[in-house]
Structure 1
Amino acid sequence: MTPPDATALGEFLQARRARITPQEAGVTLYGDRRRVPGLRREELALLAGVSSSYYTRLEQGQSRSASVQVLDSIATALRLNDAERAHIHSLARSDGRRPAARRQPVERADPALAELVDALGDVPALILGRRSDVLRWNPLGHALLAGHLDAESPLTPRTRPNMAEIVFLDAHTRSLYTDWRTKSRTVVGSLRIMVAQHPADPALASMIGGLTIASPEFACLWASHRVQACSATVFELDHPLVGTLTVTQQTLRSATNPDQALVTHTAAAGSPSAEALTLLAQIVRTARATGTTRTTRTTRTGAPNVAHATN
């Protein structure tokens, strides 16, 4: 059990230590009975080249002065990947300064990113803020990911869709991903990184707390302390209007506003998935020409049905 005074860094270290077995770490066993499958604190300390007492204090939140070298040694012992390694450094910095929670200004889409999203045309794209709020999407991005929602909803802060929330709490979005579990792990892994970078954002903490209460699946994934940097990920979608298609989701951070991300969805040229995106673009143009803003999900048996729209 995590000690009540453990820091975010300590919680992460304990979670990772529990997931690496002695065999994976190269620790020799001598027939002793173990209560847990993961590494013991003293075993990890030995692998990292630090004293057992120091590592225990670090994990329990009683020491917040770990050097870069010590953190790197622990990361190597835990076999962390690049994203996880960067994550423990972010956690160590945030634990060390213990910033006071402060109200953050309302997020606005970066003008340069907004211009780019609009210019992408037939490439589904959207801008996500630090809390996974949709700050802007183009018509095809809306139709691909959330056609059942109001296309204008990102324009007002109180009506903005939150991608993390709809992945876990919205039945339409859940049914969109054929491998929903992979998508859900990606969402949580990305949120973990953002929380470490912004420990003083009360709105972000509130959103995480709300999801933890509302979704047992989210709560379980959050407790695992897995992190995942989103760059390029392939997802299969079961779209209600154009059928099954495979898209590559790429996430690009703004150089001037790194809290915001441009997320695009593409398909291999000439593939059935690319044809499905072209069909969806045609549906969107037709809907816009008739002055409609929201396409409803239709029951599909076999081939996709022709879309209909509501105002």
Structure 2
Amino acid sequence: MDGKTQLGDFLQTRRSQLRPADIGVPTYGERRRVPGLRREELALLAGVSTSYYTRLEQGQSPSASPEVLDAIAGALRLDESERRYLHDVAKVDRRRTRGRRPAPERVPDATRQFLDVLGDVPAIVLSRRTDVLAWNRTGHALFAGHLDFGAPELPARRPNMARLVFLDDHVRDLYADWPSKARAVVGNLRVVAARYPEDAALHALLGELSAKSAEFASMWADHRVKACTGADYEMRHPLIGPLTVIQQNMSSGRGPTVVVATTEAGSPSRAALALLAQATGEGAARADLSPDAARPRSQPEPAPNSVAPDRRR
């Protein structure tokens, strides 16, 4: 990062995005050389000295206290996700971390049971790096039906949703407002990168996306932070046409995240998802697992204590 800390880079970028008029700082009609707040203006708002804030932004004094970080977050008008990110990157800059490649994440049995319970509701299980760890048939058909259904079972072949959103034309075309989806992906990756600074595989993914997608590189440099919880998306599916879904992220903390797509009851979108579930055979697959389905129908079981007829003549 050109010799700068993540903390300093974040502070400088967000300071440049905050206009004096947004927070009532008078400019007296003067012509300003750079957009956004000056360092001395932000330092005044945060209640710290200009020299201290300058050292902090230049990476020369990374040991800011939580109270100072909260004051700076207030001056920058950061929301709760951005405030937590500020604290996370400050912790990263206080220690040296050595990148390591962790073992592939696995899907807990309880999460697989949850997928079964969801039935025809589209769902996928994502790692913190947005690798697809599992999906049900409707989730596969909705989000990436052009890929092999069994790909998530092999760590080396697992699809990655961030990579698909930016580099796969099929997935890109699914979203009517692709920039909104793309910004959500980038914002969430920023949160994860600050929380897991030692994850070499995550940083390799970020480097790949920055090199292959100018749009990703631009959004990443914008330093927008947003933890994904839920959002409405208008999708244009090649099989069932347009529909609006609510993508909800369910996570217990540091484990995998289950992304579920729901629709409004009685809406055309709900009918479209039902059609997709029927087309993918999700309901039929569940029926085949029932005890009755496993029993041959052409040869009913004999009644209890019955005796087979003697066919000898």
- TM exceeding 0.5: yes
Aligned-partner Cα distance in 2 for 1:201–1:115 = 28
Amino acid at match of 1:11: D
Kindly report which structure 2 residues correspond to 1:73-88, keeping only aligned pairs within 5 A, or say none: 73-88=71-86
Aligned-partner Cα distance in 1 for 2:201–2:56 = 28
The 8 Å contact of residues 122 and 142 in structure 2, kept in 1 or not, is answered as yes
Look up the match of 1:110. 108
2:281 is equivalent to residue 281 of structure 1:
no
Deviations 1:147-204 (A, max 9, x none): 0000000000111000000100000001000000000000000000000001111110
The CA deviation at 1:95 is 1.2
Q: Secondary structure at the match of 2:265?
A: coil
The CA deviation at 1:288 is 7.1
Q: CA RMSD in A?
A: 1.4
The CA deviation at 1:243 is 0.6
Look up the match of 1:91. 89
Aligned-partner Cα distance in 2 for 1:104–1:203 = 8
Query: Which of 178, 181, 191 is the matching residue for 1:180?
Result: 178
Aligned-partner Cα distance in 1 for 2:282–2:3 = 58
Aligned-partner Cα distance in 2 for 1:280–1:231 = 25
Query: Which of 145, 163, 166 is the matching residue for 1:165?
Result: 163
Deviations 1:66-101 (A, max 9, x none): 111111110110101111111101111111122221
Computing the radius of gyration from Cα coordinates, the structure with the larger value is 2
Look up the match of 1:203. 201
Normalised by the length of structure 1, the TM-score is 0.89
Q: Which stretches in structure 2 are left out of the alignment for 5+ residues?
A: 286-313
Q: Secondary structure at the match of 2:276?
A: helix
Normalised by the length of structure 2, the TM-score is 0.88
Look up the match of 1:6. 4
Look up the match of 1:251. 249
Aligned-partner Cα distance in 2 for 1:185–1:286 = 32
Q: Secondary structure at the match of 1:58?
A: helix
The 8 Å contact of residues 254 and 262 in structure 1, kept in 2 or not, is answered as no
The 8 Å contact of residues 17 and 38 in structure 1, kept in 2 or not, is answered as yes
The 8 Å contact of residues 123 and 259 in structure 2, kept in 1 or not, is answered as yes
The 8 Å contact of residues 267 and 273 in structure 1, kept in 2 or not, is answered as yes
Aligned-partner Cα distance in 1 for 2:101–2:247 = 31
Q: Secondary structure at the match of 1:151?
A: coil
Q: Which stretches in structure 1 are left out of the alignment for 5+ residues?
A: 290-311
Aligned-partner Cα distance in 2 for 1:254–1:231 = 12
How high is the sequence identity, in percent, across the aligned residues?
Answer: 55
Aligned pair count reads: 285
